Structure 1
Amino acid sequence: MLTCAIIDDDEINRLTLEHYVELTPNLKLEASLADGIAGLTFFREGNRVDVLFLDIEMPHLSGLELLRVLTDPPEVIITTSRQDSAVDAFELRVTDYLVKPFDFARFTQAVQRVQSRVVPAAAPAPAEAPANTDLFVKVNSRMVRIDFDEVLYVEALSDYVNIVTAKHKYIVYTTLKALENRLSTFPSFIRVHRSYLLNTQHIESIEDNTANLRDGHFVPIGKSYQDGFYKSLQRI
């Protein structure tokens, strides 16, 4: 939402601009003033707006004179009956100008130009934090951190599971089904046998429905799991 003020000594022009502001959802009118003196008072009282629709030719204090005395003017859209007068206004770094009589399409274009200057571009979305691949598991009386990217496979052992990495084996008191649910956020883990969860990242080859892993490990692929397993692989 942009706040705005209108300063124009012509009542018809002011009413036209007020109507256009009402038709524009992202504009809120804070003041509509009849001359430059009233505009100067408005700003010297500490009032602030995002955009000012300012007539150039006004008695006592013209629009250009008002701009020269304001120390921190808002974005300005000049309203004038003479296009050549707008050239002088650009020396004061106005954003745009509207030549009377106004039309709503040109008014909207000027407002959009202000909005592109006032409203900062959306900040890029923060980079997603890398997924946490660690889990703590209880091994005997210790809580051990395991990076599941390093796990080759998990084997069911009745009420326990055997979590196997290239260097270690961890016997953990849980069921394979419970651990499978915990690993549901790890897409590389697939149930390939009633007794095995396999980390497909570590497959080196597949032969005779057996996944051959690094360091001589292998995992059987159960018949009822073969269709789903092979469909999950990227293969040529």
Structure 2
Amino acid sequence: MLTCAIIDDDEINRLTLEHYVSLTPNLKLVASLADGMAGLAFFREGNRVDVLFLDIEMPHLSGLDLLRVLPNPPEVIITTARQDFAVDAFALRVTDYLVKPFEFARFTQAVERVSSRVGSSAPAGAPAAAEVPTRSDLFVKVNSRMVRINFDEVLYVEALSDYVNIVTDKHKYIVYTTLKALETRLAPYTNFVRVHRSYLLNTQHIESIEDNTANLHGGHFVPIGKSYQEGFYKSLQRI
């Protein structure tokens, strides 16, 4: 049984989520709150839950700002009408991102993801172990589209001022976020290493290294910055 809370300023949406929770045998609703400030007070009073269904756009304190101030948030399923906050949300390590209106089947899928992250012996609200991530993909906003990117397919990420260029074998995605935010999101995946102030590299795609340049699959090249070289070479398994 997973305990849960709902924070959403739209009453219809709250009632819909409450109904979905009531249809889910392994969920127990602890609180249903109308805004972020009420949610902040709930957690500061020492209340804990396993999963939080959280809206983003709310008066006084947004859902993302609430996550930023909580020292130890539970598993979070974002429930929002907006698609364009997905990158920021996943940078805060939310478990799933549901865009309203969503069906009960999609709600159930998100709950199953939480169940796989929260062990049966874990206390309510305990965060999933970072070293055992269960998601291997990320939704990013590219122009007006939300695109799913599989982490394993990413060759490298390049910083472009306020944007990043996410490069795979077949595509390049220009995304409005920072390299630091994406590095934080990918931290549990040990294949990703910062090798330059402007580059994040997926080491599983390295074919060779020459003159402090990593040669990747598909003829891609990534420079290894001087200040990163010692740590990078120490991390390699080499003879």
Specify the alignment match of 2:45 in structure 1: 45
Paired residue secondary structure (1:29): strand
Match of 2:67 in 1: 67
Match of 1:57, as an amino acid? Answer: E
TM-score normalised over the length of structure 1:
0.50
CA distance in 1 between partners of 2:72 and 2:34 (Å)? 21
Higher relative contact order, structure no. (Cα contacts within 8 Å, ≥ 6 residues apart): 2
1:3–1:27 CA contact under 8 A, matched in 2: yes
In structure 2, what is the Cα distance between the partners aligned to 1:107 and 1:36? 21
- Unaligned stretches of 5+ residues in structure 2: 122-239
How many pairs does the alignment contain?
A: 121
Corresponding residue number in structure 2 for 1:114: 114
Q: Which residue of 2 aligns with 1:76?
A: 76
Q: Which residue of 2 aligns with 1:32?
A: 32
Aligned 8 A contact 1:80 1:86 in 2: no
Q: Following the alignment from structure 2 to structure 1, what is the Cα–Cα distance between the partners of residues 86 and 55? A: 10
Aligned-residue identity in percent: 87
TM-score (norm 2): 0.50
Counterpart secondary structure, 1:72:
coil
Shift of 1:120: 4.9
Task: Please give the residue correspondences for 1:93-132 in structure 2 after superposition, counting only pairs within 5 Å.
Answer: 93-120=93-120
After superposition, residues 3-22 of structure 1 pair within 5 angstroms as 3-22=3-22
Report the counterpart of residue 87 of structure 1 in structure 2: 87
Task: State the AA in 1 paired with 2:61.
Answer: L
Mapping 1:145-224, distance limit 5 Å: none
In structure 1, list runs of 5 or more residues that go unmatched.
122-236
CA distance in 1, matches of 2:114, 2:10: 23
In the aligned structure 1, how far is the partner of 2:30 from the partner of 2:86?
24
1:86 deviates by: 1.8
Q: CA deviation at 1:84?
A: 1.9
Shift of 1:119: 2.2
Max radius of gyration: which structure?
Answer: 1
Which structure 1 residue ranges, 4+ long, deviate > 4 Å from structure 2? none
Distance 1:14 1:23 in 2: 14
What is the CA-CA distance between 1:98 and the residue it aligns to? 0.8
